Structure 1
Amino acid sequence: MRISIIILSFLICTGLAGHAQNKSNTDAAALHKAQDYLTEIIVHDIFSPPVASRIYLYPHLAAYETLVAAGVNKSASFYGRLPAFPAIPKIKESIDPVIASLEAFRITGRQFLFSEERFSDSMQVLIQAQLKARKAEKLLNASLQAGKQVADSILQWASKDRYKETRAIRRYQLKKTPGSWLPTPPGYIAAIEPHWKQIRCLTLDSAAVFRPKAATEFAVEPGTLFHKEALEVYTVCTSLTDEQKAIAAFWDCNPFHITMQGHLNFATKKISPGGHWMQIAGLVSRMKSESISQASKAYALTAIAIFDAFISCWEEKYNSQLIRPESYINSHIDESWRPLLQTPPFPEYPSGHSVVSGAAATVLTKLYGDNFAFVDDTERPYGLPDRSFSSFHKASEEAAISRLYGGIHYRPAIVNGLEQGRKVGDQVVKKLGPFGF
C-alpha cells in the first residue's frame, strides 16, 4: 500500500512538472513568434544591417526587463551594467507577465519600423491569443499598463543613443585617394551608415577598442601582397564548387540585393546578418524547450553582442575605407568579372558578417556550450535548404568564409573580422557574465 502511494505521488508530481514545462514552453513560443514578426517587418522595410541591429535590440531589452520587473526572470536587470540604463521599478500589481512583456515588445518595436501598424496589428493578435489561452482577461489592463511603463523607459533610453544625431550629419564624401572605396554595380548605392561609430556602445569602452590590425597596404603591381589577395578572390570565384556556392548563398544576408530586368530595378528582400543570428538564438532556445525568461535572456544578450559588433566593425570600415574586390579586379585584373554575391554598399574592411558572426557565436557558446549541434533553417523562407553545424563557432567560420566564396571580401577582412567579433563577444561575456550567463 505504501509503495502504491509513493508511486501515485511520483506520477502526480511528474505530471504537474510536465504541465508546468508545457506551459513554460507555450509562454516562450509567444516570444519566439514576436521575434518572427519583428524579423518579417525588418525584412519587408529593407533596413540596413546596422540599423536592423538597433531594431532588434530595444524590443528584446524591453521584454527582458518586463519579465525581470515582474519577478519571472530571476536574472538581474541591465540597470548599472549598460550605460545610463534606466532603473525599472519592480511591478507590484497583479499582472500576467507574458502579456506585459509582449506589450512592451510591441510598443518598443513599432517605434523603429516603417510598417509600424502592420507589426502592431500582428502583435495585438498574438496578445489576444495569449490572453485567451492564459485566461488572463481580468489582468489585461494592469498587464498592458505594466508593459507600457517598461517600454516608455526603454524608449526614453534609446532616444539618447545618438542615432538621431547621426541622421543630421552631412553626407559621406568619397575619398579620391587610390585604393579607396567606390560605389559598386548594379545600384551604385551611396555609402551606408558612415557615422555608425558614433552610436552609443553598450559593453565596449569605445567603438575603436577592438579595431583590427591595419588592412593590407593598397597596391596594383602584380606580386604585391594586396594584388595577391585580390587575385585569390578572383581565382576562387572562377572555380567555385557547388558546396561553396551553397555556402555563399546561405549566408548572403543582403537586404539590398537589387534585381535588374531590362529598365526595371527592384529589391529582393533578405534577412540581415544580425537577423540571421537572432533567428539562430531563437531556434536553439526552441530546441532546448526553454522558458520565456531563458529565451528572453538569450535574445537580449545576442542582440547586445550584435549591436556592439556592428559599431565596432563600422568604425574600422570608415577608418580604412578600403576598395572592394569587384572594383579592384575590374580595374586591374578582369574588367568583365562579377562576384557571385552582390557587393554591399559600404567599404570592404573588415567583413561585417565575420565580425557579427564571431560576436554572436561567442555569446551563444557561453550560453549553450561549445559543441552544441544544431540545424539552421533560417534561410528556408528564402528558398534555401537547411545547413547543419556542430557548434556556433563552426557556423561563424562558415559565415565568414562565405564572403570569400561570394567574391565580396579579401581574406584578411574575413580572418581579422572574425577575431574582432570574438573579442566583442568576449567583452559582452566579461561585462555581463557575472549577472547574465
Structure 2
Amino acid sequence: MTTYSPYARSTLDDALAKSLALVPDGAARTAGVAYGERVAQDIIDLRADDGRNAPVQYTRAPAPGVWRPTPPAYASMAVPWLGGVTPLLARSAAQFAPPAPPALTSRRYTRDFAEVKAMGSLNSTARTAAQTDTALFFSGNAAVQVHTALRDQAADRGLGIAEAARMFAAVQMTIADAVIVTWQSKLEHAYWRPITAIHLADTDGNPATTADPAWVPLLAAPPYPDYVSGYNVVIAAFTRALEHVVGPRLDLELISTAVPGTVRRYDRGAALRADVVDARIWLGIHFRTADTAARTIGVDVADWASHRYFRPAGRHG
C-alpha cells in the first residue's frame, strides 16, 4: 500500500504499528512480518511493468458523439492509462469488450436520450422524490461503499482470516479487471456524456432529439467518457463475485458516501444492480445503454473468474 499510495505512508505506518502491538514479540511475529513483506515485494515486482501510470493521453477531437470535457470543471480525462493495464485474472481487457454504443440516429439512442433528458435533469419534474433519493445514494465513492460492505460481510459472517482474505481477493481482483475493461471502452469509444449530447443535439443528425443548451444534470458528470459506466461495473462485479463466494443471499448493508448517515440493505445482488443502473440515469450522467453494458461486463468478468479462480477447497479435479 505504501508503494502504490505513498501519500498515505504515515497513516499506514501508524495502523501497522497498532496492529503489530497486539502480537507478542518473538520468532513467530518476526517471521510473519518478513514473510508478509516478501510476498508484497514479489507482487510489486510482478506488476512492475503492467501499464500503470503509462504516458497515455486522451487525444480525440470534439465531434458529434465524441466526449469532451464537461462543465463546470471542464477537466481532462482522468487516468486514461487505466484501460491499458494488464488484467489480474482475465486474459486481456479485450476479452470482455462491450459492443459499440448506439449510433446517434438509432432508436436506442433516441430512447436513451429522451429518458436521461427527462429523468436526469437538476430540476426534473418527471423524477420522483424516491428516485432522487436513490440517485443521490449512489452518487458518491463506489470503492469506499464496496470496501465498507466487505468489512461488514467478514464481521457479520464470522469469517476467519483465511476466509476473509479469500473473499477480499476474489471480489477486489474481479472488480479491478472489470474496471480495466471499462476504461479501455471509455478510451476506445469516447462516447459523449448526456450533458454534451443534450446541449449539442442539433449536431447529432437525429431529428428526434432536441437541443437544450441550458440543461443541467442532477450531478456534474465525472471527467471521462460515458460508455461504459464505472460505478455500475464496480457494483456488478462486486455483487456477482460476492455471490460466488458466499452464496446468492448477500444480506448486504451499504452506506452512502454522498448522503452521510443513510443505509440501504439488499438481500440479492440483482436488486442492487438494478438500482444502480437507474440511479446513474436519474443523476443525469449516463445513458441507459452505458449502465446496462457495464452491468453485463461486471457479471461476465465475475462469472469467468469464479469458474477459474478462488474455487472452494475440495472442488478441484
TM over 0.5: yes
Q: Distance in 1 between matches of 2:147 and 2:22?
A: 23
| Higher share in helix | 1
Matched pairs, number = 301
Deviations 1:217-238 (A, max 9, x none): 024xxx9542332121011131
Q: Distance in 1 between matches of 2:107 and 2:28?
A: 70
The offset of 1:142, in angstroms, is 2.7
One-letter code aligned to 1:341:
L
Structure 1 pair 396–137 and aligned structure 2 pair: CA distance change class (3 A): farther
* Map of 2:134 onto structure 1: 247
Partner of 1:307: helix, strand, or coil? helix
Q: Is the counterpart of residue 412 in structure 1 residue 281 in structure 2?
A: no
Partner of 1:115: helix, strand, or coil? helix
* Map of 1:276 onto structure 2: 145
Give matches, 1:284-363, under 5 Å: 284-332=153-201, 333-363=211-241
Q: Is the counterpart of residue 212 in structure 1 residue 104 in structure 2?
A: no
Partner of 2:80: helix, strand, or coil? coil
Give matches, 1:58-73, under 5 Å: none
Contact 2:136/2:258 (<8 A) preserved = no
The offset of 1:384, in angstroms, is 4.0
Partner of 2:93: helix, strand, or coil? coil
The offset of 1:114, in angstroms, is 4.0
Give matches, 1:373-384, under 5 Å: 373-376=251-254, 378-379=255-256, 383-384=260-261
Q: Is the deviation greater in 401-410 or in 205-214?
A: 205-214
The offset of 1:293, in angstroms, is 1.1
Structure 1 pair 382–143 and aligned structure 2 pair: CA distance change class (3 A): farther
Structure 1 pair 250–129 and aligned structure 2 pair: CA distance change class (3 A): farther
Q: Distance in 1 between matches of 2:249 and 2:16?
A: 38
Q: Distance in 1 between matches of 2:259 and 2:169?
A: 25
Partner of 2:22: helix, strand, or coil? helix
* Map of 1:232 onto structure 2: 115
* Map of 1:22 onto structure 2: none
Q: Distance in 2 between matches of 1:307 and 1:341?
A: 25
Q: CA RMSD in A?
A: 2.2
Q: Is the counterpart of residue 175 in structure 1 residue 61 in structure 2?
A: yes
Q: Is the counterpart of residue 186 in structure 1 residue 72 in structure 2?
A: yes
Q: Distance in 1 between matches of 2:28 and 2:92?
A: 43
Give matches, 1:43-54, under 5 Å: none
Structure 1 pair 114–142 and aligned structure 2 pair: CA distance change class (3 A): closer
- Structure 1 runs (4+) deviating above 6 angstroms are none
Partner of 1:388: helix, strand, or coil? strand
Q: Is the deviation greater in 355-364 or in 120-129?
A: 120-129
* Map of 1:61 onto structure 2: none
Contact 1:316/1:350 (<8 A) preserved = yes
Contact 2:138/2:258 (<8 A) preserved = no
Q: Distance in 1 between matches of 2:236 and 2:146?
A: 10
The offset of 1:209, in angstroms, is 1.3
* Map of 1:151 onto structure 2: 40
Higher relative contact order (CA 8 A, sep 6+): 2
Specify the structure having the higher radius of gyration (Cα): 1
Contact 1:172/1:191 (<8 A) preserved = yes
Gaps of 5+ in 1: 1-108, 254-270
Alignment match of 1:122 (pick from 5, 10, 14): 14
Structure 2 length as normaliser, TM-score? 0.87
Contact 2:136/2:259 (<8 A) preserved = no
Partner of 2:253: helix, strand, or coil? strand
Structure 1 length as normaliser, TM-score? 0.64
Q: Distance in 2 between matches of 1:143 and 1:432?
A: 25
Contact 1:363/1:426 (<8 A) preserved = yes
The offset of 1:188, in angstroms, is 0.6
Structure 1 pair 129–243 and aligned structure 2 pair: CA distance change class (3 A): farther
Gaps of 5+ in 2: 202-210
The offset of 1:341, in angstroms, is 1.4
Partner of 1:195: helix, strand, or coil? helix
* Map of 1:141 onto structure 2: 30
The offset of 1:402, in angstroms, is 1.2
The offset of 1:433, in angstroms, is 4.3
Alignment match of 1:202 (pick from 85, 88, 107): 88
Deviations 1:76-123 (A, max 9, x none): xxxxxxxxxxxxxxxxxxxxxxxxxxxxxxxxx111114232232332
One-letter code aligned to 1:155:
I
Structure 1 pair 278–396 and aligned structure 2 pair: CA distance change class (3 A): farther
